[in-house]
Amino acid sequence: MRIRNTLLIACFLGLWCAGAAFAVPLTLSFVPVSQTVSQGPIFVHVKISGFGPGTATAVGDFDLTVSYDPSIVTATGVTFGLALGDETAFEALTAADWFTTPGVIDFAEVSLLDSLDLEARQAPLLATGFVLAQLIFEPAVLGTTPLNFTKSIAGDSSGTNIAPLATETGSITVVAVPEPSSFALMAAAGLVLYFWRRIRWKLVVPAIVQIACVVLLFAAAPPAVSPRIPLKDAKGAVTGIEYQVRTTHFPKAFPNDPRARSQNLVTPITLYNTTNAVQRVIVCATGISVNLGDDFKHMKVQMTLAANMFSCDLPNAQNLAARKERLGAMGCRLITIPAKGAADGQTDATFVSGNDRTVPQFDAKKLPIPGKFNVVKQFGGVGPTQTGMIGSGVASGEGWGNVGGHPGVGPNAPSVAKALDDLYLHFILLQNANLGFVADPAKAPPRDQASFNCNKCFGMGPGGGGTGLGDFRGYHLEPLAAADRKGVMAVFANHWIKYQTLELKNSQTLTASLNLHNDFTYFASGPTQAQYTLDSSGVPSDCFVSSAGPPSPSTPFTVSPQEVKRVQVGVTCGPNVSPGAAGQLVLTMTGAESLGDPELLSTHVLRLVAPLPCDVNADGSVDSLDIEEIMSLRGQPGGAGNKYDVDADGTITVNDARRCTLSCSMPTCTIPPPPQ
């Protein structure tokens, strides 16, 4: 038993058990093989069959492309069967594209079920085969179109490639006046097959839970625990408030419309209260991109305090800044955190880009009107983690190049995930019950009410549409001036969190760029004298900080107004870094004018992780976010050393995604909850 478990763990960790090629091919076919229609919808099932001795015993993934004549029929959709799992129950991940290239339907699916459950679910169907997906067409003109498989990839329950795969052809003939009885029978058969297979799976196939396998999965790939980040006051003393920033992911803005490719940016954060009293904290957030090589104008948001109420607005006198990075829209929220022992002393918040949002109103001179907002319900990409402009692509369904936080436009623009750099957080911990925060004057749109952006947010829009933003690309938060902060019973703190986790590697040195500026220094009336220190106590064992500078730690330096200043930090690891090891490096920046009593200016957190095999987004766990990322890259070149090409066959495929489901930290690759 010990030897068997060792072999299984090795397989789950990515040292995949090699399997011999299947001697007998499975067959992909169209059902019906041919049909004659005069009106739609036209249903064509894609079936796999031929199971028996010498074949695979289950199908864990597939990636298929079907060609047809777009002058005869038009593809209108793809639905997936339940043999690999119910995607609505998060048992499978699917992808389908029938609209980008006329005459081509590309569709893929990977099961998130463990191997034993998957094989048990498909066992009753192997004798006759089963439906993988259903293609839906509408007739265009009279004629006959052939149906052909132009790509056929499939893997078994362990992600081993099923080869060879035999394919058959099919056809659809569109006629003017079919036999009424034939047409009725054909349409009814399609609908009956569609609903029958779903009901059959729901009622007949048992859901077998393999407890031993689940335990093995947890043993093979334990999720890393991200350290909490303490909130400190200006003198560096802890306040009792801590937080964790979790993995940013990119769900579709319109999940029910596959043609709409706009994506939101979602960054979960959990706040913890380690004190015995309820705490209230204002959190403001802005997403910032890497240097994109162009100047983008950014507007100023002014934080004010009047009659014990904090507020932020766009002043008419704008100090427009031009930077190489794109700043996102800025959002603030007043969050109440229960005391320790009540609701575990924690509160979850989510920074969402792409929500319906308010945007400022502008006068005839294109100056913002304080306190006046328009509610934009049609556009996406306006939450605080958004890093680019938005446009009408959300509504039209055309690409997501200028929608939902993409930092560029066109097919050559960098992806959002690669362009994100920092999440900038400005905290105001209220220490007086009379202090509060003024929310948006207009009622927040419904989607905002459940998200982070429910108090005050400055969204972006195109130059038209009544928003008047023109070339503006985001917002700087100008906090209360140093003189105004004095005497206020509140703690003010600035934090930078690197979106991109530094992926530690054995016997290598990796570098990261950390910020030595913030909105205090950016909007200061004059130069700021500062210095920084590095806390490497959270760096994983067998790794150390090997370089930092210029400037060097504890060396005074000057930050000028509107200067974007950074320092390069190197982390070197030895040969024995444990997979899944996680930690963080913390840079603390303090004022240097009074070295005997320095003021804490900002804290910059660089998250570190030695990724587990298949933890492609390096967040410390293998989950559906990793599987989705691998699926999105299918067909791209791979090869030895490519973390997405798990089987190292030279190409990233659905088989790689399936193999990684066997290393997931939770059943069905559920995203792990925040640590308690």
**Residue 481 scores a pLDDT above 90:** no
Question: What pLDDT score does 178 carry?
Answer: 54
At residue 241, the 3 state secondary structure works out as strand
DSSP lists the bridge partners of residue 602 as 589
β-pairing, 170-174 vs 34-37, is: parallel
Q: Residue 626 and residue 619: Cα distance in Å, rounded? A: 9
Q: Residue 267 and residue 623: Cα distance in Å, rounded? A: 16
- The pLDDT-based confidence of 410 (bands split at 50, 70, 90) is very low
Q: Residue 639 and residue 318: Cα distance in Å, rounded? A: 51
DSSP symbols for 169-222: -EEEEE-SS--HHHHHHHHHHHHHHHHHHHHHHHHTS-----HHHHHHHHHHSP
DSSP symbols for 27-67: EEEEESSEEEESSS-EEEEEEEE--STTS-S---EEEEEEE
Q: Residue 111 and residue 89: Cα distance in Å, rounded? A: 12
DSSP symbols for 213-232: HHHHHHHHSPPP-PPPEEEE
Task: Report CA torsion sign: 307, 309, 315, 320.
Answer: positive
Q: Residue 244 and residue 676: Cα distance in Å, rounded? A: 11
DSSP lists the bridge partners of residue 260 as none
H or E element in which residue 117 lies: helix 115-122
User: Do 468 and 393 touch, CB atoms closer than 8 A?
Assistant: no
Region 333-358 average pLDDT: 69
pLDDT digits (tens, 9 = 90+) for 92-121: 999 998 988 999 999 999 999 999 999 999
Region 396-424 average pLDDT: 48
- The pLDDT-based confidence of 17 (bands split at 50, 70, 90) is very low
**Residue 192 scores a pLDDT above 60:** no
DSSP symbols for 437-475: E---SSPPPHHHHTSS-SSEEE----STTTT--TTEEEE
Region 492-503 average pLDDT: 86
**Residue 15 scores a pLDDT above 50:** no
Region 52-70 average pLDDT: 95
| HEC letters along 465-531 | CCCCCCCEEEEEEECCCHHHHCCCCEEEEEEEEECCCEECCCCCEEEEEEECCCHHHHCCCCCEEEE
CA 136 to the chain's CA centroid: 30
Q: Residue 98 and residue 88: Cα distance in Å, rounded? A: 20
CB atoms inside a 10 Å sphere around CB 355:
29
> Any idea what the Cα angle at residue 476 is, between residues 473 and 480, rounded to 5°?
160
> b vs e for 375-413, b when ≥16 Cβ sit within 10 Å of the residue's Cβ?
ebeebbbbbbbbbbbbbebbeeebbbbbbbbbbbeeeeb
Say what the pTM is.
Answer: 0.71
Q: What tokens were used for 48?
A: 């796999």
For helices 654-661 and 624-632, give the axis angle rounded to 10 degrees: 170
Region 199-223 average pLDDT: 28
pLDDT digits (tens, 9 = 90+) for 525-548: 899 999 999 999 999 999 999 999
Average pLDDT, the chain: 76
**Residue 253 scores a pLDDT above 70:** no
Peptide linkage before 561 cis (omega within 30 of 0): no
Q: Which residue has the higher pLDDT, 212 or 46?
A: 46
Cβ-Cβ contacts under 8 Å for 237 (sequence gap 6 or more): none
Question: What pLDDT score does 370 carry?
Answer: 66
Q: Residue 591 and residue 557: Cα distance in Å, rounded? A: 10
Nearest to 459, CA basis, from 359, 362, 378: 359
CB atoms inside a 10 Å sphere around CB 272:
23
β-pairing, 368-376 vs 557-559, is: unpaired
Nearest to 238, CA basis, from 659, 600, 608: 600
Cβ-Cβ contacts under 8 Å for 192 (sequence gap 6 or more): none
Q: Residue 33 and residue 635: Cα distance in Å, rounded? A: 28
Task: Report CA torsion sign: 320, 321, 322, 323.
Answer: negative
**Residue 51 scores a pLDDT above 60:** yes
Q: Which residue has the higher pLDDT, 400 or 251?
A: 251
CB atoms inside a 10 Å sphere around CB 99:
15
Question: What pLDDT score does 311 carry?
Answer: 86
| HEC letters along 568-582 | EEEEEECCCCCCCCE
Question: What pLDDT score does 382 carry?
Answer: 35
Region 449-467 average pLDDT: 45
- The pLDDT-based confidence of 38 (bands split at 50, 70, 90) is very high
Question: What pLDDT score does 448 carry?
Answer: 44
**Residue 217 scores a pLDDT above 70:** no
Which of 10-14, 316-320, 574-578, 597-601 has the least mean pLDDT?
A: 10-14
User: Do 49 and 59 touch, CB atoms closer than 8 A?
Assistant: no
Q: What tokens were used for 622?
A: 């293998």
Ordered by where they begin, the domains of the chain are 23-211 (2.60.40.680), 227-374+418-500 (no CATH), 501-611 (2.60.40.10)
Q: Residue 283 and residue 426: Cα distance in Å, rounded? A: 6
- The pLDDT-based confidence of 592 (bands split at 50, 70, 90) is confident
Polymer length of the chain: 676
Which of 38-47, 131-140, 288-297, 492-501 has the least mean pLDDT?
A: 288-297
Which residue in this structure is represented by tokens 């220490």? Answer: 431
Give the helix ranges, DSSP H, for 585-662.
624-632, 654-661
Q: Residue 444 and residue 436: Cα distance in Å, rounded? A: 18
